[in-house]
Amino acid sequence: MNSKSILYIIKIGGNVIDSPDALNLFLKDFSSLKCDKTLIHGGGKIASQIGEKIGLKAQYNNGRRITDAPTLDLVTMVYGGLINRQITSKLQSLGCNSIGLTGADGNLLCAKKRPIVGDLDFGWVGDVRPEQVNGLFLNQLLNAGLTPIIAPLTHDGFGNLLNTNADTMAAMLSIKMQEWYEVRLIYCFEKKGILKDVSLGNEVITTLNATEYQKMKDNGTANSGILPKLDNAFAVASSGVNWVVVGHADDLLVNAVGENVVGTLIKSS
């Protein structure tokens, strides 16, 4: 019998953030979750829109987008400022005592700047591992009745912020926080769940295990855009978290507390 209390780790992506109505609806549902919870948010289109306005051109190296210094400032403003602070103030109005964080706050996530390989330099990007998560600090905040709202930024310990993938942050937090909690990780995105065959229709896979996932990758039925998220989801499931769900933001409550998950439940085996 597991005597640990439940911690929801919820990730929302840009599609929710880009729509004020969808975001308000989601935050209302999120705030109604009675257990300890934390939210990791992505970016959304607004960073690109503001980037265009200030004349910032997306930089690429060998076809892959890089975070140069002006782009880091942009995402620090938009992810760590505008989006994070707006979510926090909205949640306060919903009675959810939230606190907006990056990985620098309380040294929550001190990451490693992605190394340059050959002439491929991603710039100010951080890669994270579970052991870099300051779980004790997160635990302290949760014990104080706070709901951490985490922007996809970490720091390098040398005074620099780092642009960090929000799906990966959610995964690393989930793996680490099992020390204190029974973790439930829910990735909210724009579809109902993982589709059986994205080219054929909308039928959602109810449960997906590692073997089935490997088959999907092999036969090409998995949407390539979802692979990094699923890789993260399976890393968490295989670490011992048995409630990893990929589903629609509108289905948060049923996926979090329902008897039957509407999205896709990720199983390690």
* Closer CB to a copy of itself, 153 or 194, in the complex: 153
| Cα of 140 vs its chain's centroid, Å | 21
Q: How far is the CB of 54 from a copy of itself (least distance, A)?
A: 4
The CA-atom distances, in angstroms, between 194 and each of 27, 188, 208, 248 are 23, 11, 9, 10
Interface with a copy of itself by CB under 8 A: which range of 57-65, 99-107, 164-172, 225-233? 99-107
The CA-atom distances, in angstroms, between 108 and each of 87, 103, 169, 186, 194 are 19, 5, 11, 20, 31
Number of residues that bind a copy of itself (CB under 8 A): 42
Q: How far is the CB of 47 from a copy of itself (least distance, A)?
A: 10
* Closer CB to a copy of itself, 94 or 257, in the complex: 94
From 204, 202, 186, select the one nearest 194 (Cα to Cα): 204
Taking CB under 8 A as the rule, does residue 57 contact a copy of itself? no
* Closer CB to a copy of itself, 46 or 254, in the complex: 46
Binding residue (CB under 8 A) for a copy of itself from 2, 119, 158, 260: 158
**Residues 6 or more apart whose Cβ sits within 8 Å of residue 202:** 191, 192, 195
* Closer CB to a copy of itself, 140 or 207, in the complex: 140
Q: How far is the CB of 232 from a copy of itself (least distance, A)?
A: 24
From 140, 76, 86, select the one nearest 108 (Cα to Cα): 140
| Contact assessment for residue 103 and residue 110, using Cβ atoms and an 8 Å cutoff | yes
Taking CB under 8 A as the rule, does residue 22 contact a copy of itself? no
Taking CB under 8 A as the rule, does residue 106 contact a copy of itself? yes
The CA-atom distances, in angstroms, between 102 and each of 21, 40, 53, 83, 257 are 25, 10, 25, 12, 28
Q: How far is the CB of 36 from a copy of itself (least distance, A)?
A: 15
* Residues contributing to the site for a copy of itself (CB under 8 A): 50, 53-55, 73, 76-82, 84-86, 88-90, 92-94, 97-102, 104-107, 110, 140, 144, 146, 153, 155, 157-161
